[in-house]
């Protein structure tokens, strides 16, 4: 089974590239983030032509997550257990489905904006809800993984220059502690093995030639339970999908499993 995750940064803007990538890479399951569309505006008919069922969770032009599957799509869940609101509104940041016997959560963790901002506190509360949800899923006995844009770099080596992040989100101790709590709950960080580069970054800013200079961050992650992690035969960042005209600022992660 091949499972992937990709922050597409607008599924409408990236649809031709997404369809081309699906046809080329042929993942069985894809977790998508930052759809930037309503659930009913998701291009389900277009991906269905390639054999994929789709479940989407979006409310307007911000956030949004989805799951595509060509091996079945069951038990769809939208939102985390005890998920917090931001400014009295629930944001569409998590969706789960069971696909071919594997339970996947597609997550788009809040950015946090900056330490001390209300959105930063929301990010930490949201990660706590993710921990509670993941702990319950991990106890179900099914192969299980949380995939997506975590907006946290697990270690200093996961950013191109840690000295530039002294006052920024993504690398603070509370964020990393919240991420480590997932590992304490029995989930493993499935670290992609880069094809050509020393650091398997997954995100590069559009500005200043960051991608070509490899000034990136590893913030898109796959956190898996023991069954899922033990079945991994290969994992990589698909840098090719970040190249060319009109790409997302994130590259997909592709994980191959022998179940």
Q: Of the CATH numbers 3.20.20.10, 3.60.10.10, 3.30.70.120, 1.10.8.100, which one belongs to the domain with range 2-257?
A: 3.60.10.10
Among 31, 37, 38, CA closest to 52: 31
205 is in an annotated binding site: no
Q: What is the pLDDT of residue 198?
A: 60
Q: 34: annotated binding-site residue? A: yes
CA distance 28 to 102: 11
From 63, 90, 73, select the one nearest 29 (Cα to Cα). Answer: 73
- The answer to whether 249 is annotated as binding is yes
Low-confidence ranges of the chain (pLDDT < 50): 195-196
**What predicted TM-score, i.e. pTM, was given to this entire model?**
0.96
d(CA 165, CA 159): 9
Residue 151 marked ligand-binding: yes
Cα–Cα distance for residue pair 172/123, rounded to 1 Å: 12
Strands 253-257 and 232-237: antiparallel
Whether residue 171 contacts residue 165, with contact meaning beta carbons closer than 8 Å, is answered with yes
pLDDT for 142: 93
Q: Report residue 107 as tokens.
A: 């997550």
What torsion, rounded to 10 degrees, do the Cα atoms 223, 227, 233, 238 define? Answer: -20
CB 15 within 8 A of CB 42: no
Chain-wide mean pLDDT for the chain? 95
pLDDT confidence of residue 197: 53
Is 63 annotated for ligand binding? no
Q: Show the DSSP H helices in 74-223 as ranges.
A: 118-138, 173-184
Q: Which residues are identified as catalytic?
A: 108, 149, 250
């Amino acid at each position: 089974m091949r499972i992937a995750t990709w922050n597409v940064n607008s599924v409408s803007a990236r649809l031709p590239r997404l369809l081309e990538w699906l046809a080329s890479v042929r993942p069985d399951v894809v977790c998508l983030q930052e759809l930037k569309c309503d659930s009913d505006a998701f291009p389900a008919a277009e991906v269905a032509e390639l054999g994929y069922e789709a479940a989407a969770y979006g409310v307007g032009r911000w956030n949004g997550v989805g799951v595509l599957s060509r091996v079945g799509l069951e038990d769809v869940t939208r939102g985390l257990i005890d998920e917090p609101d931001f400014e009295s509104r629930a944001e569409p940041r998590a969706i789960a489905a069971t696909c071919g016997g594997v339970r996947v959560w597609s997550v788009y963790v809040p950015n946090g904006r900056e330490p001390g901002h209300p959105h930063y506190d929301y990010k930490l509360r949201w990660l706590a809800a993710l921990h509670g949800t993941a702990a319950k899923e991990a106890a179900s006995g099914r192969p299980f993984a949380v995939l997506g844009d975590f907006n946290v770099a697990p270690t200093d080596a996961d950013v191109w220059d840690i000295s530039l992040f002294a006052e920024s989100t993504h690398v603070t101790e509370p964020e990393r502690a919240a991420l480590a709590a997932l590992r304490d709950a029995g989930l493993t960080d499935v670290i992609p093995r880069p094809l050509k580069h020393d650091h398997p970054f997954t995100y590069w800013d559009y500005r200043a030639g960051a991608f070509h200079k490899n000034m990136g961050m590893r913030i898109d992650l796959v956190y898996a339970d023991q069954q899922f992690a033990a079945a991994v035969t290969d994992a990589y960042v698909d840098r090719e999908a970040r190249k060319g005209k009109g790409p997302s600022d994130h590259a997909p992660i592709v994980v191959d499993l022998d179940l």
